[in-house]
Amino acid sequence: MIFHASPEDAGVRLDRFLSSRSPEISRTRLQRYIKEGRVLVNGATVMVPRTRISEGDEVAVNVPAPKPLSLEPEAVPLDIVFEDQDLIVINKPAGTVVHPGAGHESGTLVHALLHHCSDLAGIGDALRPGIVHRLDMDTSGLIIIAKNSVAHHSLVSQFAERTTSKRYVAIVAGHLRNKSGTIDAPVGRHPVHRKKMAANVRNGREAVTHWKVLKELKGASLIEARIVTGRTHQIRVHMASIGHPLLGDSLYGGPAIIKLQGKSVKITRQMLHAAYLRVKHPGTGETVEWEVPLPPDMQAVLAKLL
């Protein structure tokens, strides 16, 4: 990749300049490229991210070829809520990626599942065996995985036909005007920032979120969100679109610190938890449901804002 600095870029740090030109690559990764000697400014290697660039500078980045993804089983602990011969339900902790991808070649939920379920490989997508829905890395809570092809087909169909029920608990910024509401706004890729989604964009897909206030807090609100559709970042995007982003959700403008009288409450990740899940059991046909409490980090933030 080659970029040229405009007059507005003069004096900007090299890592920030590259981040603005290639938002699909994280700033942390760009800093690593600089320190590895993969970035040239006017033909000379520059290895200091804070280097200031000048108008007209030519900046070239040698992006390494992606590493082949490995699906070797890994002995990562799992918080198993339910398991039988057809499915397994996990209470996923925040910080765990569901399946391998760029920047997450190991340590994912899939790697842990392959260690726990020796015969999971080959069910559905090769890199997502058994996976029928997903949670963002920093969203905690319930996720269901199919353990055989029949169960996989059944669960995929249920999610596609919207016969499942999912409820989330979130802590959002501010106090909402009403006690409940529905956000019906299509969600699609942000036209400029490719790592973000956005509401009401051209070519966006239907997205509906029902929400209600569970409790008003100091500078924030505890809400329940029920999604009819399952778009990427749906709750995060929808709540931000009405001026109430999730606490800790920096991607969508959520505050990382809530200032109260005499103290500050620090939030280290987006305050979103998949608390409830209901499906039709693919083996028995019976309706089954699970519910898990808020994880300790969300409980701690909640307690400080009461």
Structure tokens at 267: 């939030």
Report the catalytic residues. Answer: 136
On whether the CB atoms of residues 241 and 200 are closer than 8 A, the answer is yes
Count CB-CB contacts under 10 A for residue 193: 12
Strand ordering across the sheet containing 39-41:
2-4, 58-61, 39-41, 44-45
The span from the CA of 91 to the CA of 151, in Å, is 19
Structure tokens at 107: 């340590």
Query: Which H helix or E strand runs over 299?
Result: helix 296-305
On whether the CB atoms of residues 247 and 304 are closer than 8 A, the answer is no
The span from the CA of 41 to the CA of 295, in Å, is 46
Ramachandran class of 121: left when φ > 0, alpha when ψ lies in -120 to 50, beta otherwise: beta
